[in-house]
Structure 1
Amino acid sequence: VKAPFDGVIDRVPVELGSSVMQGGEVATILSLDPVIARGEVSERDLGYLKIGDKANVRLVSGQNVEGTVRYISRDASTATRTFRVEIAIPNPEGTIPAGMTAEIALSAQPTDAVILPRSVVTLGDKGDLGIRAVDKDDKVVFFPIDLVDDTPTGLVLGGIRADARIIVAGQELVKEGEVVKPVEADRATIQKLLGEATAGTQ
C-alpha cells in the first residue's frame, strides 16, 4: 500500500491478519508539513489581505510561529458574514500536532489614516460617505473615506489628505464648491468632540 503523500501514521483501524474489503480504510495518515491554521476575517478587513501575506500564530501551548496566507475565501459565511482564511505554517519536524487551538494575527499593508470623531462623517452630493474640508482657497471640498477601523476614541479613516482642514462643526450646512470663512477649532472643541465619540461607544 502506497500513500499519495508523505505524512505521519495517526490511526490504524485494522490488525495484522484482518480481512479488508477493496477500498477499505487501513490507516489514517496526517500531512503535517505544512500544518494549516484556519480562521475568519471580517468584511471590513478582507480588502487588506492577500495571498502570501505573513501571519503570526500563537499556539495554545504558548509557542509563537510564523506562517503565510495560502487561501482567502471569497464566499462569506451566511451565519457570521466573515471570510475563511488559511495559514500555512512550516512544520518539518512535525512538532505541531493537528487540531491544536491557536490565535492568528494577520499583518496588513500599512496605510495612511487619521482618527476622527464619528460626528464629522457626512454624505456627499452623490451619496458617498465621507468628510467635508476646506481647501487653500477656503472652498468646501469633499473627501470620500475608507473606514480602516472603529475604535472607542473615534473612526480610523483613510483617503484623507494629510494637510486637509476638516470641518468638524457645521459640515451639514455647507456644500461642495461653496466659499466659506473657516474658524480654527480650539482644543476645547476638539476634546469635546472626542469625548462625545468615546461616550457613544459605552
Structure 2
Amino acid sequence: MRILPIVTAVIVSVAIYAFVFERDSAATLLGGPDEPPEAAQQTNEAGPDIAAQAPIGVVAMHSVAQTIDSAVIVRGQTEALRQVDVRAETSGKIVSDPLRKGAFVDEGALLCRLNPATRLTSLAEAKARRDEAEARVPEAAARLAEARSRLEEAQINDNAAQQLSEGGFASAVRVAGTKASVSAAEAAVQGAKSGLDAARTGISSADASIAVWEEEIDRLEIRAPFAGMLETDTAELGSLLQDGALCGTVIQLDPIKLVGFVPETEVDRIAPGARAGATTVSGRQVEGRVTFLSRSADPETRTFRVEIEVSNADLSLRDGQTAEILISSDGTPAHLLPQSALTLNDEGTLGLRVLAEGARAEFMPVRLLRDTVDGVWLADLPDTLDVIIIGQEYVTDGVAIAPSFEGIAQ
C-alpha cells in the first residue's frame, strides 16, 4: 500500500479546514498581528449600523421615452375568402368528364352534367298541353260571343211579348216561352264562360308545368358559383348523384383572409381599416387592412375575431397556414432597455428598479410591448427615469444606493 499519497491528502484536508473554518485561530497560531481589544469592540458595535447605512453600489442608465408604433400581435391563420361545396339539386347519372382538383374554373364554368332521362319528354308534353289550351281559347271565346248574341235576342223577344201581352195581343203562353228562351240563353252564356275559363286555366297550368321542367333541366348542369380553384375532383363520369350529393368544392384564394382572435384587453386598440402585416411560418410576409372586427366575444375564450384581407394574385398563400399577425395602432411612449434590467417584486409583478428621490431604490411595474434584438420596449413609465441595470436584484424599495453612470448609454 502506498502511504505517502494518503498522508498528503490528510495534510491538505486539515490545511483547508483550518483556512476556511478556523481562520482566526490559525492566524493567531501562526503569529498574526492581534487587534487591540478596544478597536475590536468598537468594530463589533458600530459594524452593523455602518453596514445598514452604507449605500449599495449599482450601475444605472438614463432613459428617455420614445414614441413607437405599438402593434397588436395576434396568432392566426390564413383562410379562403370563399369556399363552397357545390351540390346537386336533383338526381341523375353523370354524363360529363370530371375536372381534377387544383384546376382553376371561371364563374359559371360547368362542373357536372346529369343525364336528362325523361325530363325533356315531360317538358315537350307540357308545351303540347299549353298549345292545345291556347287553341281552345278562340273557340271558347267564339262560343261565348254566340251565346251572348242569343241572350240579347231572347231578351228582345221577351220584352216584345210582355208589351204585346199588356195590350192584349199576345197570350200568356207566348210570354212564358220567351222567358224560357232568356233563361236558356243565360245558361249558354255561363257555359261558354266556363269553357273559356277552363281553356285559360289549362294555359296557366301548362305554363307552370313548363317552368318546373325547365328549372329541373337547368339543374342538370351544375356550374361554379364564382371563379376559383377546385379543392376536390368533380364527380366521376357514370356515377349516380342523388339530390344533395357533392359535385365538387370551389375555393377563392385571391384575395385571401388572415383570421386571428384578439384578447379583450387589446380589442379597443384595433379599428376597421387599420394597416396590418403578417409573417407565415414559411417566412412569407404580406400586408393588408382590417376588414372585420367582431362585436361579440367568443363565450369560451373571451376573444374577438379579426379579419385582414390581403392580395394573393399568385395564389402562393394557401388556406389554413399559420401566421403571426401585427395590427398597427396609435403610437405609445415607451423605453428601450436591456432585457436583463427586468426584475420581479415580492408579488411576482414584472418591473424595474429605478433611482428615486433621495438616492433610494424604487420598484416600478411595466408593460412589455415588444422584444427586439436591441432590447425590450416597456410602457407605463415616466418620460424620463434612471434605471438600475446592474445590481437591481440586491436592493429593495427604500434602500440607499450609490449609482454609477460611467460608460452607460442608451
Residues 353 and 361, structure 2, Cα contact 8 Å, conserved in 1: yes
Structure 2 CA distance, aligned partners of 1:158 and 1:63?
A: 27
Q: Identity across aligned pairs (percent)?
A: 26
Superposed counterparts of 1:22-171, under 5 Å: 22-31=243-252, 35-37=256-258, 47=266, 50=270, 52=272, 53-56=274-277, 66-68=288-290, 70=292, 86-89=307-310, 95=313, 97=315, 99=318, 106-109=326-329, 110-171=331-392
Equivalent AA in structure 1 for residue 342 of structure 2: V
Equivalent AA in structure 2 for residue 35 of structure 1: I
Structure 2 CA distance, aligned partners of 1:186 and 1:138?
A: 17
Match of residue 400, structure 2, among 168, 180, 190: 180
Structure 1 CA distance, aligned partners of 2:292 and 2:370?
A: 24
**Which residue of 1 is the match for residue 226 of structure 2?**
7
Q: Deviations over 1:131-180 (max 9, x none)?
A: 1112344343211122223333433322222211212333233322x263
Which blocks of at least 5 consecutive residues in structure 1 are unaligned? Answer: 77-83, 195-202
Distance change in 2, residues 1:104/1:145 (3 Å): closer
State the 1:114 CA deviation.
2.0
Asked if residue 20 in structure 1 is aligned to residue 262 in structure 2, the reply is no
Which blocks of at least 5 consecutive residues in structure 2 are unaligned? Answer: 1-88, 90-218
State the 1:33 CA deviation.
6.7
Q: Deviations over 1:40-68 (max 9, x none)?
A: 99x9xx958746342236899x9965232
Distance change in 2, residues 1:125/1:70 (3 Å): same
Structure 1 CA distance, aligned partners of 2:290 and 2:254?
A: 13
Residues 117 and 154, structure 1, Cα contact 8 Å, conserved in 2: yes
Equivalent AA in structure 2 for residue 67 of structure 1: R
Structure 1 CA distance, aligned partners of 2:248 and 2:311?
A: 24
| SS of match in other structure, 1:126 | coil
Q: Which has the larger radius of gyration?
A: 2
Structure 1 CA distance, aligned partners of 2:311 and 2:374?
A: 39
Residues 67 and 90, structure 1, Cα contact 8 Å, conserved in 2: no
Structure that is richer in helix per residue:
2
Question: Which has the higher mean CA deviation after the structures are superposed, 95-104 or 139-148?
Answer: 95-104
Residues 133 and 167, structure 1, Cα contact 8 Å, conserved in 2: yes
Residues 286 and 310, structure 2, Cα contact 8 Å, conserved in 1: no
Structure 1 CA distance, aligned partners of 2:310 and 2:235?
A: 32
Structure 2 CA distance, aligned partners of 1:134 and 1:153?
A: 23
Equivalent AA in structure 2 for residue 186 of structure 1: E
Residues 145 and 158, structure 1, Cα contact 8 Å, conserved in 2: yes
Scaled by the length of structure 2, what TM-score is found?
A: 0.32
Structure 1 CA distance, aligned partners of 2:381 and 2:347?
A: 18
Residues 9 and 27, structure 1, Cα contact 8 Å, conserved in 2: no
Distance change in 2, residues 1:113/1:31 (3 Å): same
- Number of equivalenced pairs: 174
| SS of match in other structure, 1:172 | helix
| SS of match in other structure, 2:234 | coil
Structure 1 CA distance, aligned partners of 2:285 and 2:345?
A: 49
Distance change in 2, residues 1:149/1:90 (3 Å): closer
Structure 1 CA distance, aligned partners of 2:278 and 2:394?
A: 49
Residues 35 and 90, structure 1, Cα contact 8 Å, conserved in 2: yes
State the 1:90 CA deviation.
6.8
